[in-house]
Structure 1
């Protein structure tokens, strides 16, 4: 029986009077890569930001590792090991690479900071070469590596990646998905929020498709790709 790590049930959320999510239910089991797919405006970022308490839901529940975190503080959710790498990287451009990485461990994993730093630098050798460089002077691909590395510094139990391939060259996109695959093989559970459907479905255990704030499909990539009407309606493939 799979062990549920993140359970979102009946979630309603939005911004002021604008309702974005309408009763969304999503689960991520331990050891999975789950792809969360959908067009711009479908509600993907609202879903993960509500799960991480960066946006307040109006109803529904969010449970992480069996604990109800629907009203928890964002910093406590990070402390529990639910860590998001946000869309657009959101690094601190005037801080060095090392300073950005160290900030990733400020709420969790401070005792193993040195060990985690070595792990991250082994995973991203280019970051090791640029530890003293200001983050804002790096290329887009290197900044994405830094954003993911900063997330890994917090020793996540579930890592949420929000559009990690956004704005990257085709070569860097392939490299980024290879990295996600490698992190999963090392035992990390991942919720992957992406618009690159083909590559996401290649590596995902299961997938959800959001449309207009509702789940229109959930199941295995094989099931999704085997249904022409689903491919055409929701994935454009």
Structure 2
């Protein structure tokens, strides 16, 4: 579904990613792991059209999208739920969700809204509440729900557990597992190694703009080199 080959990307002519290659298959959950500053967010921005690659290829369902606009990438079904939630605090929960279908799946808005409320019952309870008054965990649910409103073929979840309590992290990963079971492929970009590897089928570890480890999640869980690569020690 997603094929990235030798991707080089960065800012102001300075590369952050230095030849990253990875794949995500249909209905697959793939984790992309790494500490802060290794290039995970740059990767997400390049995949979603917010950063133009310097070189390399990105293909989504067989079609090259490197250099395509963010709007056309969303319309194709690759939807990025960004780090930091990026909700609209002065709009209601419902209004935030409805904006998720602005570029894609607008005819199915009502059905998708029901589906999101079924997945995240707390959002239904707070449907008319201003999004900025939600707790951190509820805002993260809203951000993911907004992404699901566009009927993604592949959804990129960028640090969904960031800033949440351990109990909320556990709940969130359970919900992500349920979302993946319902159909879209998931690329989970995280610092939370243990729970990400419990959820994903395969994983990539990025360090200093390079993929330094990859393989089945079950194998990586038992790899003594993972801590070294992940922590950069």
TM-score by length of 2: 0.97
1:232 aligns with 2:224: no
Which of 60, 84, 93 aligns to 2:89? It is: 93
Structure 2 unpaired stretches of 5+: none
Deviations 1:42-63 (A, max 9, x none): 1111011101110111001110
Deviations 1:157-200 (A, max 9, x none): 00100000001111100000001111111122100001110000
The CA distance in 1 between the partners of 2:103 and 2:155, in whole Å, is 15
What are the within-5 Å matches in structure 2 for residues 109-148 of structure 1?
109-148=105-144
Please tell me whether the aligned partners of residues 101 and 149 of structure 2 are also in contact (alpha carbons under 8 angstroms): yes
The CA distance in 2 between the partners of 1:232 and 1:199, in whole Å, is 14
Which of 73, 92, 107 aligns to 1:77? It is: 73
The CA distance in 2 between the partners of 1:174 and 1:138, in whole Å, is 19
Which of 9, 16, 23 aligns to 2:12? It is: 16
May I ask how many residue pairs the two structures share in their alignment? 232
Which of 25, 29, 37 aligns to 2:25? It is: 29
Give SS of 1:127's match.
helix
- Ranges of 4+ aligned residues in structure 1 off by more than 2 Å: none
Which of 49, 52, 56 aligns to 1:53? It is: 49
Deviation at 1:235, TM superposition (A): 3.3
Alignment correspondent of 1:155: 151
Alignment correspondent of 2:190: 194
Structure 1 unpaired stretches of 5+: none
Give SS of 1:112's match.
helix
